[in-house]
A and B are shown apart, each in its own frame.
Chain A
Amino acid sequence: MQSKRLGWILLAPTLVILFFFGVLPFIYVVYVSFHSWNPFAVNPDMVFNGADNFRKIVFDSAFLNSVGVTVMFVFFAVLSELIIGYFLAQAFMRDFPGKAIFRTIHTLPLIMAPIIVGSVWKLMTTPSIGIIPHYLDEWFGISMNIGTSAPAAFATIVIMDIWHWTPLVTLTLIAALVSLPQDPFEQAQIDGAGKRQIFWHITLPMIAPAVVATVFIRLMDALRTVDEVWMLTGGGPGSATRFVGVHIFKEVFPKTNYGYGSTISVIVLYLTIVSCWLLYVTMLAPRNKKD
């Protein structure tokens, strides 16, 4: 094989760009996280306050609440996306008339900007002008108000996320299902295995890397979601949909609390990296090495 120098040359542009636009800002955020700094307060100076911000975060119920809400959101949204996405992917494995058109339609939500998705769902669900509360009331007599009801707002966000991101899950799972070898399935059928047995013992283990990879990317993106939620509910009512991304956004923009906002970001980034790393080393990396 050739010299490692060529490898580093090929990698260099990536490392340089990520250094200047990823690492340097990160160092700055870490630096600010050890300060109290609100540029629009009475005292606009950056004051070093050691680990005070980090001490504060442990007892900050608003932050801990936002972590809890985020975990719930990721759990419900990603689990539903996986289940629905798996069934749709299986359905797409069959041939039926109009398959190409239906698949194109199914991938459409994927190309919409999060901020537009947030706006259109807001227009559909705002009481009195939204179509969904209108017909829920007219047909079923259910009143739905995402401005006052925390469960309604939370459910709307979960459903919006499912609508927006299930196509990605479906596509990833189709890619995985297409590449499966046929022999084990035929063998299992000859041996008289039931549908459920085939799913748990053959299909699931074989598509596990794809499932984990999907969870990985959805987890990563769900933790930094701001646009859609900000547009739809602004984090409310109360703190029902105040996910960590929104929480940080509120700390930094309306409150201009840069010091503490940076601390929360560092902690959130740390938690994200740790959970993704655990997922990666336990589920993905061993399979990568095997070949």
Chain B
Amino acid sequence: MRKPSPIIGLIFWSLVSVLTLFPIYWLFVISVKPAVQLFSTPELILSDPYWGNYAKVWGDRLLRSYMLNSVIISTGNAVICTVLGFFACYALSRFNMSGKESIFFWTITNRMAPPAVFLLPLFLLMTQVYTVGEWKLLDTRIGMILVYCTFNLPFAIWTLRPTVDGIPKELDEAAYVDGASSWQVITQIVFPLCRPGLAVTLILTWVFAWNEYLLAATLTNFNARTLTTGLSEYVTTTGTAWGVMATISVFTLIPALIVFGLVQKHIVAGLTFGAVKG
């Protein structure tokens, strides 16, 4: 194969990167503009940044508690989905249970549900059925963690299945011969071998949970509100405070960026949704 010169590659990738980064750059530009300037003629180059929106968002105690809620909910949800998804995949992969392929397909149908209509039954269940005395599941962090499982758990199962299937069964059997218990085989033999797949599952479910809006907006009202719902509080009848909204968006982006950066190198190795096999 002929080798293109590195300069052409560099130019090509710089162009692609500019296209990719532009909307993110624009988000930042909006966040450092005072409200009056928003409606003047747009300019490509940023001049004279205004940090008022950042001061406002950083000083907002409510938004800080939303941030904490977001961190707790998405981390809790990602961990639960990855661990339970791994257990489920191990069961589907190693045991000859009747109807397991149907169960496997059925799990993903939970992710296909159009969310708008499912808000009402979830709301009713969480206010009237899933209660203990005075305590309701609505507007709690654990409630949101469980609700997010409906779309993240199937995703985790589908991403992890090829990884778990790819671990040879002979390894399990050898460990059993050596006298290991089932629990030891699962946690000490198979789990560590699936690390790349687990890392990707963890990060993607985390990002999905972090970014979810519609369910959080309806099923929380104060105690468990997340950062994305904080955004919509600046869309009011008298107009949208775009500058503040963009600033919150930047704040939403930063933790996701950090988490994503941490597992960047595992991503490719573990991304095998469905049935990707070489």
> Chain A interface (Cβ within 8 Å of chain B)?
1-2, 4, 6-8, 10-11, 13-15, 17-18, 20-22, 24-26, 28-29, 32, 88, 91, 94, 96-98, 100, 102-117, 119-121, 123-124, 128-131, 134-135, 163, 171-172, 174-176, 178-181, 206, 209-210, 212-214, 216-217, 220, 223-224, 226-227, 244-245, 248-249, 252-253, 258, 261-262, 264-265, 268-269, 272-273, 276-277, 280, 284-285, 287-288, 291
Contacts and interface: CB of A to CB of B under 8 A. Distances in A.
B113 A26 contact: yes
Contacts of A121: 23
B222 interface: no
B111 interface: yes
Nearest to A246: B116
Contacts of A24: 121, 125
B274 A120 contact: no
A270 to B, nearest CB: 10
A238 to B, nearest CB: 20
Contacts of A213: 272-276
Interface stretch (B51-59, B60-68, B248-256): B248-256
Closest 8 CB pairs of A and B: A213-B274, A7-B95, A179-B278, A113-B211, A25-B121, A28-B121, A265-B117, A10-B91
B219 to A, nearest CB: 11
Contacts, number: 290
B276 A111 contact: no
A171 B211 CA distance: 20
A32 B124 CA distance: 13
Nearest to B4: A94
A53 to B, nearest CB: 13
Interface string B110-152: 1111111111111011000010000000000000001101100
A11 B278 contact: no
Interface in B186-237: 186, 207, 210-214, 228, 231-232
A124 B23 contact: yes
Interface of B: 6, 9-10, 12-13, 16-17, 19-21, 23-24, 26-27, 30, 38-39, 41-42, 44, 84-85, 87-88, 90-92, 94-97, 100-101, 103, 105, 107-122, 124-125, 130, 146-147, 149-150, 153-154, 157-158, 165, 176, 182, 186, 207, 210-214, 228, 231-232, 242, 245-246, 249, 252-253, 256-257, 260-261, 264, 267-278
A2 B231 CA distance: 51
A269 B112 contact: yes
Nearest to A180: B278
Contacts of A100: 264
Contacts of B12: 91
Nearest to B14: A102
A98 B210 contact: no
Nearest to A174: B268
Given A1-B94, A287-B277, A171 B114 contact: no
Nearest to B107: A18
Contacts of B147: 21
Contact of B211 (A15, A112, A248, A280): A112
B121 A171 contact: no
A111 B20 contact: no
Contacts of B269: 175, 178
For the residues of A in contact with B, the DSSP-based class is: helix
Contact of B23 (A18, A117, A248, A277): A117
A18 B112 CA distance: 13
A29 B228 CA distance: 26
A171 B271 CA distance: 7
Given A4-B97, A20-B130, A287-B275, A111 B260 contact: yes
A280 B207 contact: no
Given A11-B87, A172-B273, A175-B272, A21 B114 contact: no
Contacts of A102: 13, 16-17
A25 B275 contact: no
B253 A273 contact: no
A174 B200 CA distance: 14
B24 A220 contact: no
B125 A25 contact: yes
